[in-house]
Amino acid sequence: MSRKSALLRGAAAIAAAGVLVGLAAAPAAAKPHHHHDDDEPIVIAHRGASGYLPEHTLEAYQLAIELGADVIEPDLVLTADGELLARHEPVLDETTDVAEHPEFADRKTTKLIDGKPVTGFFADDFTLAELKTLRAEERLPELRPESAEHDGEFQLVTYDEILDYVATLGKKKVVTYPEMKHPAYYEDQGMSIEDALADLLEERKLDRKRSPVWIQSFEYQSLLNIAERVDNPIGLNIDGQGAIADAQLDEYAETLDTVSLNKNRIFPRGADGSVSEPTDIVERAHDRGLDVHVWTFRAENQFLPANLREGADPAEWGDYEAEYELFYDLGVDAVFSDFPDLAVAARDDC
């Protein structure tokens, strides 16, 4: 590990310790550290400060705000009683201790998600009260052992509870950017994640265009559905790499506010995994009035282009600053990062 990387990790660990103490003592008194000018790209904390603490926990969201994030991103799934739970997937196995609870052993099952069979423990087979007995675990323990040291410490949290927390942060508003996960899956289960989210936003009077809530999904039709009920900014997540046709961008410009792109849509990777010349997607989207958000920025070699890695250890931090600079210089509007402090520092250096 480079000296700079070690120092940054040490600083984040100190901040994380402070956050945990602060939550235990007086969470309502916490204030966000927020540095953002209108002409600067926005830093979105991907699942919270998920590079430092187990993802989608209140502690990870608070740490993200303390580290300078402008936006926090909760992925949302549904519980059996219709609550919106912050988890990356309907399946709980990789990010909770559910397998260690013998009382729930009979809940393991196989269901279809995106047409593929998935076996595990599904959040929609548990009530919120049952889910509150589980504890969060680090999804990438081999890459992030410091985060894994917190396994078993943190409760699972609902979007309603996240909004309660954000409301304590004072006059400086922090945006939440919920992603509706697998809406078609819930439709197949006879549930509607769009209605659950719209109901909550309406109840809290956060369903307006200028509300500090943006909405995202990988499913275009889901976004069209929820747009019939709320006026929040909405964005479509687009994975993979390759060109997006002008006609498709024209349609998105009429119905969306944002396209949220896999990094490879902007800077494709060559056959050797190295970053190559950028496409023109950012310029073409901007020409149509669409914002461009980009995901996901991580510091570890495993996630970096081959020509930006340092050493052979996949957990080692590579030249993440160079990757941020590529995208910031191209004029993207926002970046999703597991390490919001690194994204802020790189933005300030540009």
Residue 33 lies in a domain: yes
The model's pTM: 0.90
**CATH number of 289's domain:** 3.20.20.190
Residue 128 lies in a domain: no
Give the pLDDT score at 17: 58
Give the range of the structural domain holding residue 213, as residue numbers without chain letter: 3-91+155-349
pLDDT tens per residue across all 350 residues of the chain: 443 444 455 555 555 655 565 554 433 333 332 333 457 999 999 999 999 999 999 999 999 999 999 999 999 999 999 999 999 999 999 999 999 999 999 999 999 999 999 999 999 999 999 999 999 999 999 999 999 999 999 999 999 999 999 999 986 689 999 999 999 999 999 999 999 999 999 999 999 999 999 999 999 999 999 999 999 999 999 999 899 999 999 999 999 999 999 999 999 999 999 999 999 999 999 999 999 999 999 999 999 999 999 999 999 999 999 999 999 999 999 999 999 999 999 999 97
Give the largest CA-CA distance in the chain: 55
Query: If you write DSSP's letter for every residue of 75-107 in order, what string do you get?
Result: EEEE-TTS-EEE-SSSB-TTTB-GGG-GGGGGG
Count of structural domains within the chain: 1
Residue 304 lies in a domain: yes
Which residues, 6 or more positions from 329, have their beta carbon under 8 angstroms from its beta carbon? 350
Residue 44 lies in a domain: yes
Token couple for 181: 């996960």
Residue 139 lies in a domain: no
Token couple for 55: 């993802």
Render pLDDT for 52-72 as a digit per residue (tens, 0 to 9): 999 999 999 999 999 999 999
